[in-house]
A and B are shown apart, each in its own frame.
Chain A
Amino acid sequence: MSFINLMAREINCKIVYYGPGLCGKTTNLQYIYERTNPEAKGKMISLATETDRTLFFDFLPLALGEIRGFKTRFYLYTVPGQVFYDASRKLILKGVDGVVFVADSQIARMEANQESLENLRTNLAEQGYSLDKLPYVIQYNKRDMPDIGSVEELRELLNPTNVPEFEACARTGVGVFDTLKAVAKLVLTELKRGGP
């Protein structure tokens, strides 16, 4: 749910990075954080375990600039990917304006991708959202790893509705900003239409 402050002329939107454990959601945010001008970003917060696994969420506020005199801010969140943190994942999805599904391209993680995507649909539905109606893009991450599925295979398994998709290597940054820009554009276009 976007928040428009007519007084301060601000618009804030929430984007959630979803995906299976170790697929690179936090790495996406870290790369964005490293490559963004200091004046355009706030502090990145990571609520993680001692072994650096996301425990609750990562949070990164980004100021994109002005659109018709409104300061446009995007709040990026990741969810904890590990299966047993489902209760926390549901909470992060509240009020979401746009979703990035980060898939792990490695063949060994295909089942985990499918499970996570199914979990995303279920958790959104519980809150009255439908993934098909939300601004939503997919990122095929870890394209630099050995033993990965082809984009065609990934598409068939994970992207039957043909939403915008991006190949990425979040560690080196390939595809990270393309993904972010695509989902941010979809969110703003939705806002223009008067939703969500």
Chain B
Amino acid sequence: MVNPQMVMYEEEFNQIQTVVDHLVKSANARSVFIVDKNGQLIAASGDVEHLDTTSLASLTAGNIAATGGMAKLLKENEFATQFHEGERANVYIMLVGNRVILVVIFDAKSSLGLVRLRVKKASEELNHIFENLLKKVAEPGGESPFAEITDEDIDNLFND
């Protein structure tokens, strides 16, 4: 199969969370997300309690996928960044290492210039972490944590 399973380990998860937490502060952002290209939320930080993060993640991935499709038609490799300007909230989106999507939501307390600057550094760090993670996932012997589940376990999930 073309796509290996995406597995997130504790070590990398903590590293990613540290980068994301730091980015919220340094960019003066409202919130920051990391989303995988298939729309799964990987990490979030900042004011996320009142946000529907699952839906946002899915829509962001759809957005990036559509933009990627446009890039392909225009014979571009990718459009790595997007910026959506609202009345109160702005969204800056960046594709990191063609693998994950970094989303920064900010308001008048910050500026596009500052966000761009801080995102650049964070994306380099994230790229490095995800490269290591992918190597780890691809290593042989990394047995699926689900190898031991039984048919009964699966059936039980549907028995209510």
Contact A3 B55 (CB under 8 A): no
Which residues of A in the span 126-165 have a Cβ within 8 Å of any Cβ on B?
127-129, 133
Q: How far in angstroms is the closest Cβ of chain B from A103?
A: 24
Q: Is A189 an interface residue (CB 8 A)?
A: yes
Segment with Cβ contacts to A, from B90-98, B113-121, B140-148:
B140-148
Contact B154 A127 (CB under 8 A): no
Instruction: Count chain B residues whose beta carbon lies closer than 8 angstroms to a beta carbon of A.
Output: 43
Q: Is A65 an interface residue (CB 8 A)?
A: yes
A-B contacts at CB below 8 angstroms, number: 136
Interface of A is mostly: mixed
B residues within 8 A CB of A30? none
Contact B10 A88 (CB under 8 A): no
Segment with Cβ contacts to B, from A17-25, A54-62, A113-121:
A54-62
Contact with A along B58-86 (1 / 0, CB 8 A): 11001001101100000000000000000
A65 to B151, CA, bound (A): 15
How many A residues are at the interface, by size bracket? 35 or more
Q: How far in angstroms is the closest Cβ of chain B from A35?
A: 13
Contact B147 A59 (CB under 8 A): no
Indicate whether A87 sits within 8 Å of B7 (C-beta atoms), given known contacts A42-B54, A45-B59, A128-B1.
no
A residues within 8 A CB of B10? 6-7
Q: Is A5 an interface residue (CB 8 A)?
A: yes
Segment with Cβ contacts to A, from B21-29, B35-43, B104-112, B124-132:
B35-43
B residues within 8 A CB of A75? 39-40, 58
Contact with B along A48-80 (1 / 0, CB 8 A): 000000001101010011011010100100000
B residues within 8 A CB of A181? 158
Known: A127-B2, A188-B149, A196-B3. 7 other contacts (CB 8 A): A1-B3, A2-B5, A12-B40, A56-B62, A133-B1, A192-B144, A192-B149
